[in-house]
């Protein structure tokens, strides 16, 4: 089992391996997987929650392509995630892409907050994140703390 955390285990900085890799064809979106599914092995859920993983890793996502997915398929994915009762939690795996900026990452995290879906693990390693992307993470942490939702476990 890998530990939970903002970057998961094996986190690397913005100069991670793969910076100069050849372009790959964009992999299809894998969407959410429930606990026990092939891609949904991560996450700990308690108190009426069901752990899920949004796996958009190794999809050659750029900032622009992530914004397209946010406009297109994220609402449907979040709707599938919402349980009939209890809280929703998910892990988000964006590792191995070409993300660099603040705006799309911030928009993704904001959409999860607005839908009251707690992000329990955010995997961002093997991207091209610039310093400004850290601002999106700080904004998310502050908003979650102000809402009393907490970053992991139960409320508050």
Q: Where do we find the tokens 């406009």? A: 71
DSSP state at residue 28 = P
Tokens of 52: 């899920």
List 119's β-bridge partners, or say none: 90
3-state helix, strand, coil in the chain (%, to 5): 30, 15, 55
> In a structure prediction context, what are the per-residue pLDDT tens digits for the chain, which is 156 residues long?
333 334 333 333 333 333 233 333 444 445 555 443 334 333 333 344 556 899 999 999 999 999 999 998 998 888 887 776 767 899 999 999 999 999 999 999 999 999 889 999 999 999 999 999 999 999 999 999 998 876 665 544
User: What long-range pairs does 72-79 form, CB within 8 A, spacing at least 24?
Assistant: 73/29, 73/31, 74/108, 74/111, 75/111, 77/31, 77/32, 78/111, 78/112, 78/115, 78/117
pLDDT at residue number 153: 54
pLDDT at residue number 84: 67
Q: Where do we find the tokens 């693990």? A: 121
* pTM across the whole model: 0.67
């Amino acid at each position: 089992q890998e530990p939970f955390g903002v970057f998961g285990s094996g986190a690397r900085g913005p100069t991670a391996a793969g910076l100069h890799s050849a372009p790959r064809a964009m992999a299809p979106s894998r969407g959410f997987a429930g606990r026990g599914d092939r891609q949904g092995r991560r996450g700990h859920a308690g108190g009426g929650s069901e752990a899920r993983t949004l796996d958009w890793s190794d999809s050659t996502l750029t900032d622009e392509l992530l914004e397209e997915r946010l406009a297109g398929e994220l609402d449907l994915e979040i709707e599938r995630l919402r349980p009939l009762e209890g809280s929703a939690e998910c892990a988000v795996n964006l590792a191995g892409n070409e993300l660099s900026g603040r705006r799309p990452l911030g928009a993704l995290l904001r959409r999860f907050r607005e839908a009251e879906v707690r992000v329990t693990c955010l995997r961002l390693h093997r991207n091209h994140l610039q310093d400004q992307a850290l601002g999106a993470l700080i904004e998310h942490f502050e908003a979650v703390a102000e809402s009393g939702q907490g970053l992991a476990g139960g409320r508050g």
